[in-house]
Amino acid sequence: MSVLSEILKGYRDSLAFSRNRFEQLYRDRLENGCQFYHQFFHRLILPFAERFRSENYRRRLREAAERILDTDRIDFVAIDGTCYKDAFQDFVVFFGGAYGAKGSVRLKSDPPVVQYERWGLERDVSLVAYVPVPFATIEDVYHAEKEETFVVSDAHRVDLSNIHTSLMQLAEIYLAYSVASASTHDYPRLIMLDQSLSGLMAAVSHGAGTELVGYPHDRRELDSFDVRVAFMHPVSRELGVPTTKRFGRHLAVLAEFHHRNTQSIPLDDLRQSLRLSSDDLLSAVRILTDKPVPLCELDVEGNLRTRYACRDSWRYTLSLFESICERLFVQKDPSALVYETPDPDRPGLRRQRWMSPEDVHFLTTVGLRALIEQCWERNILLVGVVKDSESRYLTRNYMGVMKQLGVYPELQEIEVAPLPWTDRIFLETVPLYCDTSLEAPWSTIEFDSVFQTLRLGIDEFTQEPTIIGTPSRIGEIVSPERLFLRSLAQFFLSRDKRTPISGHVIFLDRLAVPRWDKGAMEHDVIVRNERVGTIKPLLYLDAEADNAVQQVMMYLLDVLTRNHFPEVIGYPDPLHKADQGAKTVGKRAREMILSSEIPFHSNPIARTLRHLREEGERHRREPS
């Protein structure tokens, strides 16, 4: 046997061993999952199929939908994004945009009637641009001309590699905000996005590293106070957000100024309103007053004063967001990616710089927070739909914290062996192997999205189980609580044939509705420790909990999941239509970008070595 044959035989044996090992682990974890389901987890499953077949139940749902959304005609918009980039040696050409599918559900008809409307070209939200590599500011060019420093850094290239994705997310949020802010008779009652809203909120909620401070707009410049006020939003008295957890207390302080629409509040009044100890309040105030540029100041009478009125500051920042996005996505003006800021090395002068991914993230967080408040004001149901997630927020994070707090006594009494690797894998096996009576649609309970970053861990000093957040340079942080509720659901399952056919389990991120979800805070489940402070999440503890908004959401999504497309069976049709539209727009943009590269073909050095190699291999494979 030749050496090559020996090598290939070794590969085959390795693959056979690994596959057998994987299949055995899968069977073991499947058995563990079924045992856990029958012992406890079935309490967290909500079967909707039989309920939706009941005419009386559907009538009550229609009535609930009309109370929650103020209408029995549910106009909806589904939004998906698309992006593309092609890297040259000295610059990147990128495209980012979003597309929407629009329609309505008439609940008065039984079954409800779904109608789609043409998405107008005037709603196009996209951008294509050439950007230098790395993100060179005018200052960098100036120093390069003056003196060569020979300092090499690839950090900007790494950041730039994801700028198209960041702009796509910004385009999606801007499009959702635009339709939510439409005229009184034109805005939808249901907005669906093909992404995790709570995940996006967590990603852009911590830190304010944007360098947009100093951006000139509307007779003044954006400053650090405006940035901090932006991160204070969204605000809701009913849900108590922003909350007073450890690293967010200063935001709760600013929220009081927003609610009272004043620039001065006595410290003692703040302490009583926020129910904080004197030490906790002073630590929060210190964050606002000890900055290099103080955001607030304490006067001699013991009153805390803000630099501007918080409401005016938020309106200013929102106006800046609208202005930049209008230039980027509507006017197709790539110069909006370049802005002037004060030059720290030359007082009195200004320099130009490219907008960094951190700047785009700041615009995204402003848009997302404005979208949330617009949905609250107009009673719009905002839902993020995620497919193919590998997370374990339910079976690991949520269940771990609940066990540590003793919320479910049964968890203290049973031994839970290793479960299937992800929430999706576990729940997709439930109706096929664990509970063959379960029919689609069904869903898990909704749990607060704070459990993305709040979980059970081991204390590094005592080695005892404790609830922890996500480590960062400023301590342990957690994502904002009482904003989004997560659940997992399945909308297609057929047992008509010998082998059942099922759709994927998908993840739903629903924006909390203050008027209806404030009851989810009427519980005694509170996380208290020095690591994260005090957190009281939104909770629907089991299938018996009354959750009208989830029932309406599941009914609407079930109506919109028509299973007309076999490649996305069990997935809401409007989101698939939005995906098709986005891909079509993206394909056209990609063709345009490729055609724009023709002038550079005469200079191969302009292309990256990797790109040239791949082009050569492709040409050799193509038939002559």
pLDDT, position 357 = 79
pLDDT, position 612 = 65
**Same structural domain for residues 240 and 290?**
yes
- Checking if the pLDDT of 410 tops 70, the result is yes
**Same structural domain for residues 262 and 389?**
no
Domain final residue, candidates 302, 332, 353 = 353
Q: What are phi and psi of 220, to 5 degrees?
A: -155, -175
pTM > 0.85: yes or no: yes
Query: Quick check: is 273 in a domain?
Result: yes
Going by C-alpha positions, the residue among 482, 232, 511 that lies closest to residue 371 is 511
**Same structural domain for residues 320 and 460?**
no
- Checking if the pLDDT of 268 tops 70, the result is yes
Cα–Cα distance list, 571 to 323, 543, 575 (Å): 35, 23, 8
Tokens of 425: 């894998």
- Checking if the pLDDT of 504 tops 90, the result is yes
Query: Quick check: is 155 in a domain?
Result: no
pLDDT, position 206 = 63
pLDDT, position 585 = 86
pLDDT, position 227 = 93
Interval 189-243: pLDDT, tens: 999 999 999 999 988 876 567 888 888 888 888 989 999 999 999 999 999 999 9
> For residue 139, what pLDDT band results from cuts at 50, 70 and 90?
very low
Number of domains in the chain: 2
| Residue with more model confidence, 336 or 368 | 368
pLDDT, position 251 = 93
Interval 556-606: pLDDT, tens: 999 999 988 888 899 999 999 999 999 988 888 888 887 877 776 666 665
- Mean per-residue pLDDT for 326-355? 81
- Checking if the pLDDT of 134 tops 50, the result is no
How many whole angstroms separate alpha carbon 23 and alpha carbon 17?
10
Least confident of 7-21, 41-55, 75-89, 125-139: 125-139
Cα–Cα distance list, 482 to 256, 319, 365 (Å): 18, 26, 17
Query: Quick check: is 264 in a domain?
Result: yes
- Checking if the pLDDT of 152 tops 50, the result is no
**Same structural domain for residues 313 and 399?**
no
**Same structural domain for residues 445 and 487?**
yes
- Mean per-residue pLDDT for 391-398? 93
Query: Quick check: is 148 in a domain?
Result: no
Tokens of 300: 């001699």
Query: Quick check: is 239 in a domain?
Result: yes
**Same structural domain for residues 275 and 401?**
no
DSSP 37-76: HHHTGGGGEEE-HHHHH-HHHHHHHHHHHHHHHS-SEEEE
**Same structural domain for residues 252 and 330?**
yes
Query: Quick check: is 596 in a domain?
Result: no
Contact 218, 413 (CB under 8 A): no
**Same structural domain for residues 423 and 333?**
no
pLDDT, position 150 = 40
Domain final residue, candidates 353, 376, 397 = 353
Query: Quick check: is 360 in a domain?
Result: no
> For residue 554, what pLDDT band results from cuts at 50, 70 and 90?
very high
Query: Quick check: is 484 in a domain?
Result: yes
- Angle value at C-alpha 254, between 225 and 300, nearest 5 degrees: 85
Label the pairing between strands 442-444 and 45-47.
antiparallel
Contact 114, 556 (CB under 8 A): no
With a CB cutoff of 8 Å and minimum separation 6, the contacts of 481 are 241, 243, 245, 448, 449, 450, 535, 536, 537, 538
**Same structural domain for residues 346 and 389?**
no
Domain range for 9 is 3-50+385-571
- Checking if the pLDDT of 153 tops 70, the result is no
pLDDT, position 389 = 85
Label the pairing between strands 447-448 and 484-490.
antiparallel
**Same structural domain for residues 459 and 549?**
yes
| Residue with more model confidence, 35 or 608 | 35
Domain final residue, candidates 528, 544, 571 = 571
**Same structural domain for residues 296 and 215?**
yes
pLDDT, position 308 = 87
- Checking if the pLDDT of 111 tops 90, the result is no
Interval 424-442: pLDDT, tens: 999 999 999 999 999 999 9
**Same structural domain for residues 216 and 299?**
yes
pLDDT, position 142 = 36
pLDDT, averaged across the chain: 86
